[in-house]
A and B are shown apart, each in its own frame.
Chain A
């Protein structure tokens, strides 16, 4: 009784908040240390061995001790180096928490050397799509208008005509392509990550893939001449903007007109 009278509720709230911050901070520091010391002993072992070690530490709990897959994750036998480079290089893997879809996490957990090592290990299990070389996704001379046509036929149904992404079923979604790099776009097409189908080089030849990359890059660089792009989603967001923001302004104006002057 004595204490409760002396201490104001602000003190208790502050103490609780401080404790929460402290616990969260310690947890964040403790969990972020792990990948840093994993790379230390890379000098003496081969790349595949290093990759295997990193795989066992970071991936095997879901993908299995021999990459055979489990209830929590698909097999990685035959997915190829490109799939590892895409999934780990963009921070999608390792997944932070179970969910409908692995989101992009930036910065990724592993550095470039570690990603290469894991890619080397996974591609040593069975042949699969290799990491594309720079020449394959060099879109400098590609026809972006033709890329736009191919994009609308093959990609826009999920990623939306302006590459803004869209919803799939049960919480899954096609991500926005606004941050995607040329290599990542190429890798996604040849590996078909998560829900995405595969668009192999035999179906869409390298030349056409360059055109698609040129189009996506053009979309990324495209300014919005008329002002707010509103997500480039077309009439739905525009109508929503009109119905909320613009109507709110009109109502404010109407109230101002109607209110009696003092």
Chain B
């Protein structure tokens, strides 16, 4: 701390500054006059500041006691109405407020103490240059050169080249291991990741069941303007075998019904059933599940990035970042009148992937 040069306050300096009182205690670096604080000049103000600081510390103690009282006394499930906040949990809000106030008052008291009562003088701290001394840099450079010379890195060409080769090849195992991030389920053994990503549970004759209730959907029960979030009938068993949600993530669809003459185009001839259309529920942009269907415009909107698909026009993109149309599932009915898939999707669902054709 020998570098610190103290510039004394106006009232305790007093050697030959009487000529220009306003410039007393001038800062040596910035041209700002030093102004003594009220607490420096007026002992009553100093005592007042002292009382303020002490009061904050005492209040902090009070809040700590209140915290303990609130913890013991207030029912954990009690609800209280507080203006602006509304109906809130009494216990949580009381605990948070008292603890917060206790911590805040310790900090605020310390700052008030430092600002009003601790010494208030400008100081200068000398610093060295950031650059290393010349001798040190020379020594470091010499060390480097000596190491290069002694190791023979420049001389043994074959060692240098094979070392570079070994380092270059080293990351390959890490890349190969990436393939194991995709663990095929029991039903997908032997399939490549591309195959697994390209196929779903839908097959010819798979019944379409309503998600959540798992009830098959009767074609006659779906009104015009209706929307059903649906999954394949065997999804639950497959999910149990797989132990994950991958099958659901690929097979989820939505069913919508419109007047047959409102359908302008589809991805395949006769893929609808009397105005009922089945589309993948997974956005082709980055795979968000989407069912924000506006029944009047027939638009399907993705909440993530606002990609919008026109389900009356082959699921084509009308807005947003999605690059491909929403895959359509060809559907029909079985002999009991329940909706079934006629095949799997004819294109991979969801976002693009490496091997996607």
Contacts and interface: CB of A to CB of B under 8 A. Distances in A.
B113 to A, nearest CB: 11
Nearest to B227: A197
Interface in A16-74: 74
Interface stretch (B67-75, B81-89, B187-195): B81-89
A195 B297 contact: yes
B295 A192 contact: yes
B128 interface: no
Contacts of A203: 210, 217, 221-222, 226, 228
Interface in B160-219: 210-213, 217-218
Dominant secondary structure of chain B at its interface with chain A: mixed
A129 B35 CA distance: 82
Contacts of A225: 79, 88-89, 92
B303 to A, nearest CB: 7
A170 to B, nearest CB: 9
A261 interface: yes
A229 B86 contact: yes
Contact of B85 (A166, A199, A204, A228): A228
Interface string A220-262: 0001111111000000000000000000000000001100011
B79 A223 contact: yes
Interface residues of A, number: 36
Given A157-B303, A262-B38, A197 B256 contact: yes
A75 interface: no
Interface string B75-104: 000010000111111001100100000000
A219 to B, nearest CB: 13
Given A153-B211, A157-B291, A169-B299, A224 B39 contact: no
B28 interface: no
A218 interface: no
A197 B295 contact: yes
Contacts, number: 111
Interface in B282-322: 289-297, 299, 301, 303, 306, 308, 319
Contacts of A157: 289-292, 303
A61 B54 CA distance: 75
A194 B227 contact: no
A228 B92 CA distance: 12
A202 B115 CA distance: 73
A226 B227 contact: no
A226 B89 contact: yes
B164 to A, nearest CB: 46
A149 interface: yes
Contacts of A202: 218, 220-222
B245 interface: no
A208 interface: yes
A154 interface: yes
Given A168-B292, A196-B295, A203-B222, 8 more contacts: A153-B229, A157-B292, A192-B225, A195-B294, A197-B293, A198-B223, A223-B79, A223-B89
Interface of A: 74, 149-150, 153-154, 157-158, 166, 168-169, 172, 174, 192, 194-200, 202-205, 208, 223-229, 256-257, 261-262
25 contacts: A74-B296, A150-B213, A153-B212, A154-B227, A158-B291, A158-B292, A168-B292, A168-B294, A169-B299, A169-B301, A169-B319, A196-B295, A197-B227, A197-B293, A198-B224, A200-B221, A200-B222, A202-B220, A208-B213, A224-B85, A224-B87, A224-B88, A227-B92, A227-B96, A256-B111
